[in-house]
């Protein structure tokens, strides 16, 4: 496969089984997985614990070998240094050397990434500031909070401005502010043209940042669709009415209603939605929210719900 292909990640029939010592027990982590990630796309890789997400990511990094199938990054083998030169990776929990300061830790990863010294000197403070760690640059990582370590992990992944970012649960251990920052950085990187492969449990972040979603269940792709078609594919709506009065209740008519204390949640079709909303507003009803019923969470629960092994 030539390198100028638009596919950054190509996975064909990837299968991986883990065997215990003496091969007494075996667990098939991933089975016949096919995946294609185009240049500049942000792809979410979601699924319950034990679905095979991290196994696939480790195989993408050349740390695990497929039992069957083929994996190519930029048209090359994942174990090739040329491919890994173009990747930035953040693990679910960033493990690094506690005795190094944040600055020295980033320098270390910059050197491993073959960055010239001048570029490292410029990129390290920039990324630390970007991740809100500028003031802690001279502090030893040993004294960092979990959230700060995660931010440092993302800083090292971004340090060399990679073409492909592989992020394994990047928001683990982050507070809402940190999560927001990560989502913003993903969007910034997308604007820059970076391809992002994101494994995450936070579906609202996925909905906000990703172009495509792949739901993995028990090692196989259970669902794969672009966010655009996912958003546009549903014709069922939910209307929330706050403190629903008797007058507002009359205007609902025969629509499907779910009581939530003083509030009600009305389900209706797309064709009924506008008429119903008009009647509710005429009845001075207070509208809480209007949304499609088939959110990513609904798809997730449909395709991956109840299969968690974690």
Partner 1 sequence: MVKLRAITLTSFQETLHRRVLYLVLILAVLIIAAMSTEMLYVRMAREAGETEAVAGMARGLFQQILATWDFAAFFLALFLGAVALSSELKSKTIVTVLSRPVARWTYLLGRWLGVLLFLWAFLFVGILGALLWGAFFGLHYSAFFWLGVAELFVKAIFLSGVSLGLSVVLPPAAAGPAAFLLTILPLMVQNAMGHPRWILRSLATAAYYLAPAHLPVDLISDSFKKEMVDPKYLLYVQVLGENLLYTGAVFLLACAVFKRRELRLR
In the DSSP assignment, the letter for residue 169 is: S
The residue within the footprint of partner 1, chosen from 6, 26, 49, 65 (CB under 8 A), is: 65
Least distance between partner 1 and beta carbon 214 (Å) = 21
Least distance between partner 1 and beta carbon 111 (Å) = 4
Least distance between partner 1 and beta carbon 155 (Å) = 12
Distance CA 310, CA 303 (A): 17
Q: Considering only 31-39, 45-53, 78-86, 265-273, which stretch makes contact with partner 1 by CB under 8 A? A: 78-86
Residue 57 φ/ψ, nearest 5 degrees: -65, -45
The residues in 103-132 that bind partner 1, with binding defined as CB under 8 A, are 108-109, 111-114
Q: Does 81 contact partner 1 by CB under 8 A?
A: yes
Distance CA 169, CA 254 (A): 44
The residues in 246-305 that bind partner 1, with binding defined as CB under 8 A, are none
Distance CA 145, CA 153 (A): 12
The residues in 142-171 that bind partner 1, with binding defined as CB under 8 A, are 153, 156, 166
Long-range contacts of 276-283 (CB under 8 A, 24+ apart): 276/239, 276/251, 276/252, 277/239, 279/251, 279/252, 279/253, 280/239, 280/241, 280/248, 280/251, 280/252, 282/251, 283/245, 283/247, 283/248, 283/250, 283/251
Rounded to a whole number, what is the largest CA-CA distance in the chain?
Answer: 73
Q: Considering only 83-91, 179-187, 207-215, 291-299, which stretch makes contact with partner 1 by CB under 8 A? A: 83-91
Least distance between partner 1 and beta carbon 309 (Å) = 15
Least distance between partner 1 and beta carbon 291 (Å) = 38
Residue 198 φ/ψ, nearest 5 degrees: -115, 120
Q: Considering only 68-76, 92-100, 242-250, 277-285, which stretch makes contact with partner 1 by CB under 8 A? A: 92-100
List contacts with partner 1 (CB under 8 A): 18, 58, 61-65, 81-82, 84-85, 87, 89, 91, 93-97, 99-100, 108-109, 111-114, 153, 156, 166
């Amino acid at each position: 496969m030539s390198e100028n292909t638009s596919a950054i990640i190509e996975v064909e029939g990837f299968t991986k089984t883990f065997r215990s010592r003496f091969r007494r027990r075996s667990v098939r982590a991933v089975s016949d997985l096919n995946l294609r990630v185009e240049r500049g796309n942000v792809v979410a890789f979601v699924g319950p614990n034990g679905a095979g997400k991290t196994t696939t990511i480790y195989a993408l990094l050349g740390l695990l070998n497929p039992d069957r199938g083929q994996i190519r990054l930029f048209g090359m083998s994942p174990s090739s240094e040329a491919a890994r030169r173009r990747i930035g990776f953040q693990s679910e929990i960033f493990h690094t050397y506690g005795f190094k300061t944040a600055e020295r830790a980033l320098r270390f990863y910059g050197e491993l990434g073959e960055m010239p010294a001048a570029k490292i000197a410029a990129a390290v403070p920039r990324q630390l500031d970007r991740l809100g760690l500028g003031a802690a640059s001279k502090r030893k990582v040993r004294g960092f909070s979990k959230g700060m370590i995660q931010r440092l992990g993302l800083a090292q992944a971004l340090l060399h401005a990679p073409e492909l970012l592989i992020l394994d649960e990047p928001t683990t251990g982050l507070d809402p502010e940190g999560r927001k920052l990560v989502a913003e950085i993903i969007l910034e990187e997308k604007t820059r043209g970076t391809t992002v492969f994101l494994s995450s449990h936070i579906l609202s972040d996925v909905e906000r940042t990703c172009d495509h979603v792949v739901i993995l269940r028990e090692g196989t792709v259970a669902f794969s669709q672009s966010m655009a078609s996912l958003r546009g594919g549903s014709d069922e709506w939910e209307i929330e009415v706050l403190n629903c009065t008797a007058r507002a209740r009359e205007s609902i008519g025969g629509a499907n209603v779910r009581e939530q204390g003083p509030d009600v949640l009305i389900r209706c079709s797309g064709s009924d939605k506008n008429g119903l909303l008009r009647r509710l507003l005429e009845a001075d009803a207070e509208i809480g929210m209007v949304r499609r019923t088939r959110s990513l969470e609904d798809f997730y629960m449909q395709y991956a719900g109840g299969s968690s092994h974690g």
